[in-house]
Structures are given as C-alpha cells and as structure tokens.
Amino acid sequence: MSELPEKDYTVSYLGPRIRIATVVMLLGVALLAARLWQLQFVQRESFTEMSLSNRVRLLRLPPSRGKILDASGNVIAENSPSFTFSIVPGELKDQQEVIHACAPILGITPERMRGLIERSRSVPRFMSYPIKKNMTLEEVSLLKSHVSDLRGVEVDIKPRRMYPWGETLCHAIGTLGEISVDELSKGPRLGYRGGDIVGKSGIEKEYEGYLKGEEGWEQIEIDAKGRQLGIRGRKAPRNGADIVLTIDAPFQSYVEEVFIHRAGSVVAVDPDTGNVLAMVSKPGFDLNLFSPSITERQWKRLKSDSLHPLENRAIRGLYSPASTFKVVTAAAGLAEKVVDTETKFSCAGEMELRGQIYRCWNPYGHGKVALNRAIVESCDVYFYELGLRLGGDRIAHYASLFGLGQPTGISLPQELPGLLPNTAWKLRTYGEPWKEGESVTLAIGQGYLVSSPLQLAMMTAALANGGKLLRPSIVSQVVGPDGTPIFKQSPLIRNTVNLSPDHWAILRSALGNVVQDRRGTGKKCRIPGLNVKAKTGTSQVMRVKQRTTEEDQIPYHERTHAIFIAYVDDQPKKLALAVIVEHGGGGGASAGPIARKIIARYYGMPDPGDPPE
C-alpha cells in the first residue's frame, strides 16, 4: 500500500499571518502617504510660516512724531522715550506662565492681561501687540530678568508725547489717543495698525499726516529659542515734520493767566495777516493727562464737568454778539445811505412796535442820538430804529461780508459756523415770514444770530485793516525732518467790505470814542499812549422783562455774557481781539479790563488799571 504524501502544515499555518502583515504594511504606507500629502499640500503654508518664524522676525521701527513749536521756537509738544511691554502672539508658548510672571509686575490683574492677550491675536502672528505702555524704570528692570526666559514677550522703547507747557494752548494743540476700530476702517489709514497713537483733536489731528512720519522696519534672524542671530534687512523710519505756530507761547500763557473767570474765550489776531496771536478757551485741561492715555476716572471727570473743559470755545462756542454787532449795523446804514452822521433818533428808554416793547439798556433813555453817540454809549433804541429801516436781509448781507455765521477756514477740526438769519432762512426753517421785530433784535446782535469768538476776532480785524476779511492762520509753516520748509502760510483775503474812506473814518472815530470818551462803555480799556478802539456787548442768555435785578443775585447760568472787541491800528504792529466772559455781566465792566491787560502786555506797556469813575 502506497504512502500518502506528507501535508505542509507550515504553509497553511503561516499563510494567513503573511496576508495580515501585508495588509497592515499597506495600511501603514497608505497612512504615511496621506500624512505626507497633508503636510505637503494642506498644511504647507502654516508650517512654512512656523519655519520662517523660527528664523526671521519683522520688527516695526516707529518714527518720531514731529514737534509742535511756537513762533519763537519754544517747544509746545515733543517726544520722550517710553517703555512698552508687548506680546508677540505667534511666539507665545505658555500663556499662563507669562500671565503668572508678568501681571504682578505690571500691576495688571490676571483676567485683564488674559483679555489683552486674546485681543493680540487680531494682529499678524509675528507682530508685537502692546500690553502696557509707559512703564516705570523699576517695572522695566524687573521684567528684563523674566523676558529672556519667556517666549513671545518683549520690552521695547517707543516715543511718548510730552507737553512742557501743560494746559497752555490745550484746545488748539489737541490730544492723542489709540486709533479706534472705526478709524482703521474709515478713510486712508495706510500704515496704521491696532494700538497706534493718532491725533484725536486740534492740530495733532488736523496735521496728523505731517506729524506722524513714515514707519521703518527691521528683519532679524533668530533661532528656535528666540535668540537674535543677526539682522537680515532694515529700512530706517522717517521722522514726522515739525509744525510751527503763529502763536507766541509766553504771550498765550499770559492771556490765559489774566482770564480769571470761570469760562469763556479770548482770540487775538494780527489784522494785517490773519495770524492768530493767542487762542484761549476756558476752562482747559493738562494735555499730559492724555499721554500716553488718560485714565477712565480722569476722562469721566472731564466729560461730566458742567463747564465742558474739553470744548474749544474759540471755534465752537456760539454766542449772540450783542452790541458789538452794532458796528455791522452802522456800516450797513452808512453804506446803504439810510443814515449819516447827522441823522438822529429819539431814545426814551424803550421803543414800542406793534404792541411789543423793546427796551434800551438805559431805562432813562439817551434823548436825541446821532450815530457817534449811539455807538459810544451803545444806545439800543437808535439801532432799533436803524434796523427797522434797513430790514433783516440788508443787515444779514453786511454781516456775511464781515464773516459772521460762516466758518472762518482756520486749519482746526470741528469748527462750528454759527447762524446768520435772514428772511429766506426764517421761511425755510419755520415756514413763517420774517417779522419787523426780528429786524429790531438782529440790529443789536440778538435773536437767532450766533457767532464764535474767532468770527468776532476776524470781524474786528476787518474793522482794523479797512475791510479785508482774512482767513485766520494758526500754523505759519510745516518744516520737514531735514529742516526744509514743506509749506509756508500766506495771507488769504476771503472777502472785502467796501465802504468809502469817509465811512471807515466815521466808524474808527466812534470806536475810538467808546474808549476815550468819559461816557464811553469801553473806558476801562483806556491805555495812555495807545489809541484803542473798541465796542462792548452784553449778550442775553434768557429773555429779560425787567432790568431791576442785580447781576450777582441772578443764578450763574442765567447771567448775561460779557463781550468786548478791540483793536489798535496805528502802531507798527497791529492787534485785534475778542473777549467773551460767559455769564460775566456787562461787557465793558467784565471783559474790558481783560482786553486792556492783554493789549498793554502786547505793546510792552504797564497796565494802568481801571480809570476813576
């Protein structure tokens, strides 16, 4: 019997295992291929960025913001070194360790710092994001010992804005602040990033494009531990241009010092050029509060102040010009041949028109009054009569020639135009025709009419220079970082008030008598040796039915505003100014002495004090 062939148990036993191993190997190769494909194609950009971050970092090199100088070269705004602690989100490895080590030194709560780190993720991964600015030297020295051991943090030096004159010229200079999300999304904000400091108001805002300069950059090579290996490329920053003002800081400081009242404004200009020589708005604030950033408590205090210290009254305060406007009405009356120097109206202390009583400031009246005496003693009834004969539209026309109710064109942001009413405006606004009584009130600078202190100063300048309405200038030139002027300001005539030489002589004589005549309402501005010409005004805040209440017995916010305009036109250097004292009472009594002190200082004369009664 033949033997059966022996069965190969080895093959039958190993065969399944080989197949399983083959499948496992194939799966492994497939997974490896899939992972390689993911790394090569799907995550290539992410790993490329990570690889570069371990080799090259781009650092921003901020420019030095341009200085602001006064007319004599005194520094009004400049820069000083400031230390900033920043996060580089792309290099931050241990967030909790950074918070634990740095928050106590910085004086920031862990929650606050965690929130700031989260905000830093909105910037490019390898750009620095400021966490705390303006650190003390003690904080810097303590952090330096930690920064070298932590990834993604750095302490760098950035410029801080400083204002050596503090509150002086605060509203005109303006403030700086961190750029907002809205500012980044609106307008041509090329080169700006979150955390950048930009002008928020005043000259700092208006001349931002010149002041900010051009940012530079530096590429540094680092190893995986963040240590610097070398510099691969660099573009130096270009510093901002300097702004040179028309204002002399010591003179400005003096004007602010003599304005002892709670609120108001002073604007002084050169009537030949339109250059602003002083611009005061009271109350004010210390510009250094905003550098590098104002605290929430300080901000709330300024915002909640009932006197509104952040408001630039010189260009945004709107007041009825009151009797200072009588010069405009007089000019219109002469030019339109409605009156001459001999024309007289009778003042018995009041005038009745269609059952309405219009009172003169003098309840006893002035008797028969011609133009010169009407201006000198500020007789209301004379100008009521003149206003009736002129009508609202002719008065408004001459007021527009003097620049009232329209922007002056000064290079400061947010100027308000005021309001100059006429018959068309009344019909358009209220759907009602103009009334004769509105011509009466307009003639003495009351009613709907409101203007800014700067407008009144430029009106006064036009009186001083013979009718040229100039654009006011607060910046004389912009100078590049290399010292080369970028541009220089030149006088610009906006309008011309065409009066005959005789009419100008009549107005000049009357305005001079306002100060020199013993009955003149502006006699408190008398300065021996100077021919000061002026006009007073007392602007009503509320309608007054009787004039028997003493001013100091009236609540502060119901008192009249004191207004005074003055000029000197017969000296080698000329001056025109407007003074407004909010709720200050009579213009001659309250604002006149301030104008006298300013004029005496400008011409280097001693203040003679108030004349004897």
User: pTM above 0.85?
Assistant: no
**Cβ neighbourhood burial of 370 (10 Å; 0-12, 13-18, 19+):** middle
- What's the pLDDT at 540? 81
CA torsion sign for 243, 245, 250, 253 is: negative
Decide if pLDDT at 509 tops 80: yes
Query: So where are the chain's domains?
Result: 59-245, 249-284+318-476+498-602
Report which of residues 521 and 613 the model is more confident about.
521
Percentage of the residues of the chain whose pLDDT score is greater than 90:
60
Range of lowest pLDDT (173-187, 195-209, 280-294, 419-433): 173-187
Q: 41-93 pLDDT, tens per residue?
A: 666 666 555 554 456 666 777 788 999 999 999 999 999 887 888 888 777 77
My answer on whether omega of the bond before 283 falls inside 30° of 0, hence cis, is: yes
Verify whether residue 323 is a known catalytic residue: yes
Q: Whole-number mean pLDDT of the chain?
A: 87
Instruction: Please state, in angstroms and rounded to a whole number, the distance separating the CA atoms of residues 539 and 586.
Output: 8
User: What ranges make up the beta strands (E) of 283-366?
Assistant: 345-347, 350-353, 356-359
Instruction: Please state, in angstroms and rounded to a whole number, the distance separating the CA atoms of residues 179 and 39.
Output: 39
Q: Which residues of 407-444 are buried (b: 16+ CB within 10 A; e: fewer)?
A: ebbbebbebbebbbbbbebbeeeeeeebeebbbbbbbb
Instruction: Please state, in angstroms and rounded to a whole number, the distance separating the CA atoms of residues 455 and 383.
Output: 22
Percentage of the residues of the chain whose pLDDT score is greater than 70:
88
- What's the pLDDT at 107? 85
Beta-carbon count within 10 A of 301 CB: 14
Fold of 59-245: Penicillin-binding protein 2a (Domain 2) (3.90.1310)
Annotated catalytic residue within 320, 323, 473, 476: 323
- What's the pLDDT at 392? 96
- What's the pLDDT at 492? 95
Three-state DSSP at 417 gives coil
Decide if pLDDT at 399 tops 80: yes
**Cβ neighbourhood burial of 557 (10 Å; 0-12, 13-18, 19+):** exposed
- What's the pLDDT at 546? 47
- What's the pLDDT at 103? 87
Range of lowest pLDDT (272-276, 505-509, 550-554): 550-554
Q: 287-299 pLDDT, tens per residue?
A: 999 887 788 899 9
| Contact (Cβ atoms closer than 8 angstroms) between residue 314 and residue 265 | yes
- What's the pLDDT at 6? 53
pLDDT grade for 1, boundaries at 50, 70 and 90: very low
Q: Over the Cα atoms of the chain, what is R_g? A: 36
Q: 549-589 pLDDT, tens per residue?
A: 566 678 877 889 999 999 999 999 999 999 999 988 888 89
Q: DSSP secondary-structure letter at 325? A: G
Sequence-separated (6 or more) residues with CB below 8 Å from residue 187: none
The arithmetic mean of pLDDT across residues 12-21, rounded, is: 68
**Cβ neighbourhood burial of 320 (10 Å; 0-12, 13-18, 19+):** buried
249-284+318-476+498-602: CATH number = 3.40.710.10
Decide if pLDDT at 10 tops 60: no
The arithmetic mean of pLDDT across residues 456-464, rounded, is: 98
The arithmetic mean of pLDDT across residues 511-536, rounded, is: 96
Decide if pLDDT at 21 tops 60: yes
Range of lowest pLDDT (296-300, 324-328, 400-404, 592-596): 296-300
Range of lowest pLDDT (213-222, 366-375, 603-612): 213-222
Q: DSSP secondary-structure letter at 402? A: T
Here the tokens at position 326 are: 């009588």
Decide if pLDDT at 259 tops 90: yes
